[in-house]
Amino acid sequence: MDMSDRNRRLSEIPHDPTVYQPSYAASHANEASSEFPPEYPYGSSKSVDDSLEKPTAYEVTEHDVLGENERWPTPEEERTLLRVADRVPVKAFLIIVTEFCERFTYYGVSGIFQNYIQNGYKVSGSNPGAINGGKHMATGLGNFFQFWCYITPIFAAIIADQWWGKYKTILVFAVIYMVGDLVLTLTSIPASIRHGGALPGLVISMIIIGLGTGGIKANVSPMVAEQYQRQRPFIRKLKNGKEVLVDRGATIQSIFNWFYWAINVGGLSAIATSELEHNVDFWPAYLLPTLMFVVCILVFWFGRNSYVRTPPTGSILLKAIKCMSTGFKQARKSKKAGNVLMTDEGKKSNWMEYAKPSNMVDPPANVTWNDTFVDELKRTLKACKVFLFFPIYWLCYGQITNNLVAQAGEMNTGSVPNDIMQNIDPLFLIVFIPIFDKLIYPGLRRCGIIIGPVTRIFIGFILAAIAMAYAAIVQRLVYNAGPYYDNPGSNHNDISAAIQIPAYAFVAWSEIFASITGLEYAYTKAPNSMKSIVMSIFLFTNCGGAILAFCFNSITSDPHLVENFAIVSGLMGGFAFLFYACFFKYDHQSRQEEEEQRSS
């Protein structure tokens, strides 16, 4: 939508004294007033626009309506007041509950894949199984499943943007997901396992579930953030009389914190399914998450009339590829002709500038975009550069669902199944995400300390490296313990699995800084028209992690697991510092952009 269309749409909104009117901002930008006059109290029937000094250049919508005990801030108040998150809308919570149910299903079924594939079939015992494929097959199929689950969001994002929109795409792919759950459950019954149906059933269900979860993943996180529609910060007077600045950025961060919290509450389903596989059998372990997915579909469908739905606008990805291709060709053609575009600072322009129709002497017939689209695409490409380092991080994270599970199988877990240990990670997240959201981040903001997204991701990467270094130490202790030393096989050495706990704790803390921030960064840095695509690209980095994991497959068995963890730790640590060296300036640029917005 161009500026004239936006202004026309806003001009059609009936004038409400509590709605910020950008027309006034345009004509009174140079007038100054240091504070709101006393005759304009909360809930005043007069327009608060008359008191604005230099309105901030926010995109203003019809949803920016003031409620009781709310008013617009002065520029000085925007700079000095404590920024807090707004209340999360009920419709957003419905989507968060949907994500909880989906993750309950996903982690419930995938959390027991390692034992299901690695070990032979027995109804009960310390290490139950079905397929008897060994560690290599278990790790390989696990990595394939991860790869497949994170490549499918690209296709789902195209479908949502081109034809169906996010709501319909999520609903249709949820039904596909359900079919995969049913296939897995039915092929895990004892008769099917004895007749060799477990392996083909598992592979078929992995493909179907991966397709279903990809359709949901690409669209559910952008959709949950879209449910909060207020753009402009405003002042709210609390019951104790204190005034706070309600900020969209803090609200989006809070929404993603709770979204990720729900993911990890759902992840605890692996505790239940591990107990079921250990004490009953695999088919009830898979039946439980299948039934939960019925709840997932019903909860999501229940909110159908209240959701904010962004209509499909055509495949942005295909349009973006065409735009970049045109920009590259036009840049090469112009440079050959000696027509080099220069910036205002006298530097050579970015090659994407050549894709702007205004910079083309004779635009090709296939140019269907405007200059604004090119600027948005440049922003998107800049955001995606940050994601290039995430595959190494996902390689670290993936260890908790395969190699750390196998490590626990070589240790004394008492009466607890070895694959239940991975649930320490979501338990830590459930405890610490609210602590960060309600105490640590607000406390830092109160002290004037804002940790930028790049710095947060860097901290997360370092914590992941520490987790892998610790896992390497634990693995050495396992090999040094008897009676089986560095070749325990399906037996365990005399060492407690409790010493694994710090590794899971460091991984959990790394997720708070790196993974949650990655979701937030993908959403906030992408233009509205490209949010699903950017989110799917961020998720696609998991595929890179899975590919890297395939490269490590030869050292994911005894007696090489120490080397596996040590190499992964070293790679993560080195790439963490390289990441910060490349992108630390992005945090400074973001702060500068915010300051320019506030002073514009």
**CA 287 centroid distance within chain:** 28
**Do 175 and 129 lie in a common domain?**
yes
Query: Does residue 123 sit within a domain?
Result: yes
Q: Is 122 left (phi over 0), alpha (psi -120 to 50) or beta?
A: beta
**Do 247 and 160 lie in a common domain?**
yes
The answer to whether residue 226 scores a pLDDT higher than 70 is yes
**Do 342 and 480 lie in a common domain?**
no
Q: What pTM did the predictor assign? A: 0.74
Q: How confident is the model at residue 33 (pLDDT cuts 50, 70, 90)?
A: very low
- Region 73-80: mean pLDDT is 87
**Do 293 and 359 lie in a common domain?**
no
**Do 339 and 383 lie in a common domain?**
no
**Do 323 and 181 lie in a common domain?**
no
From 369, 391, 407, the end of a domain falls on 369
pLDDT 10s digits, 453-471: 999 999 999 999 999 999 9
Query: Does residue 13 sit within a domain?
Result: no
What's residue 52's pLDDT? 36
Query: Phi and psi at residue 473, in whole multiples of 5°?
Result: -65, -45
Residue 137: both structure tokens together: 């097959």
Q: Which amino acid is at 88?
A: V
What's residue 50's pLDDT? 37
The answer to whether residue 28 scores a pLDDT higher than 50 is no
CB 386 within 8 A of CB 521: yes
Query: Does residue 12 sit within a domain?
Result: no
Q: How confident is the model at residue 304 (pLDDT cuts 50, 70, 90)?
A: very high
DSSP codes of every residue in 170-206: HHHHHHHHHHHHHHHHHTTSHHHHHTT-HHHHHHHHH
Q: How confident is the model at residue 344 (pLDDT cuts 50, 70, 90)?
A: low
Q: How confident is the model at residue 21 (pLDDT cuts 50, 70, 90)?
A: very low
**CA 303 centroid distance within chain:** 22
**Do 353 and 295 lie in a common domain?**
no
**Do 306 and 417 lie in a common domain?**
yes
DSSP-derived pairing of the beta strands 129-131 and 83-84: unpaired
Specify the number of domains making up the chain. Answer: 2
Query: Phi and psi at residue 21, in whole multiples of 5°?
Result: -105, 110
What's residue 339's pLDDT? 75
The answer to whether residue 7 scores a pLDDT higher than 90 is no
Q: How confident is the model at residue 60 (pLDDT cuts 50, 70, 90)?
A: low
**Do 304 and 323 lie in a common domain?**
no
Give the DSSP H or E segment for 246.
strand 243-246
**Do 439 and 587 lie in a common domain?**
yes
Q: Which residue has the higher pLDDT, 557 or 479?
A: 479
Q: How far apart are CA 461 and CA 470, in angstroms?
A: 14
CA atoms within 13 A on the CB side of 58: 25
Query: Does residue 79 sit within a domain?
Result: no
In 22-178, beta strands by DSSP E: 70-71, 83-84, 120-122, 129-131
**Do 489 and 502 lie in a common domain?**
yes
The answer to whether residue 44 scores a pLDDT higher than 50 is no
The answer to whether residue 324 scores a pLDDT higher than 80 is yes
Share of the chain above pLDDT 90, in %: 39
What's residue 428's pLDDT? 93
The answer to whether residue 123 scores a pLDDT higher than 90 is no
Query: Does residue 469 sit within a domain?
Result: yes
pLDDT 10s digits, 537-563: 888 898 888 888 888 877 767 788 899
- Region 211-237: mean pLDDT is 92
Cβ-Cβ contacts under 8 Å for 545 (sequence gap 6 or more):
146, 390, 391, 392, 393, 394, 395, 397, 398
Residue 540: both structure tokens together: 């696609």
Query: Does residue 486 sit within a domain?
Result: yes
What's residue 12's pLDDT? 37
- Region 279-285: mean pLDDT is 93
The answer to whether residue 401 scores a pLDDT higher than 90 is no
What's residue 345's pLDDT? 64
Query: Does residue 306 sit within a domain?
Result: yes
pLDDT 10s digits, 185-205: 999 999 999 999 999 999 999
What's residue 61's pLDDT? 66
From 369, 400, 435, the end of a domain falls on 369
What's residue 20's pLDDT? 38
Q: Which amino acid is at 106?
A: Y
CATH number of the domain enclosing 208: 1.20.1250.20
From 369, 399, 434, the end of a domain falls on 369
Q: How far apart are CA 78 and CA 515, in angstroms?
A: 29
- Region 431-436: mean pLDDT is 92
What's residue 531's pLDDT? 77
The answer to whether residue 291 scores a pLDDT higher than 60 is yes
Residue 245: both structure tokens together: 């600045």
- Region 402-416: mean pLDDT is 85
CA atoms within 13 A on the CB side of 90: 6
pLDDT 10s digits, 484-532: 777 776 678 889 989 999 999 999 999 999 998 888 888 787 777 777 7
The answer to whether residue 255 scores a pLDDT higher than 90 is yes
Query: Does residue 11 sit within a domain?
Result: no
Q: Structural domain of residue 420, as residue ranges?
A: 90-312+379-599
Query: Phi and psi at residue 294, in whole multiples of 5°?
Result: -60, -45
End-to-end CA distance of the chain: 22
**Do 414 and 335 lie in a common domain?**
no
**How high is the mean pLDDT of the chain?**
83
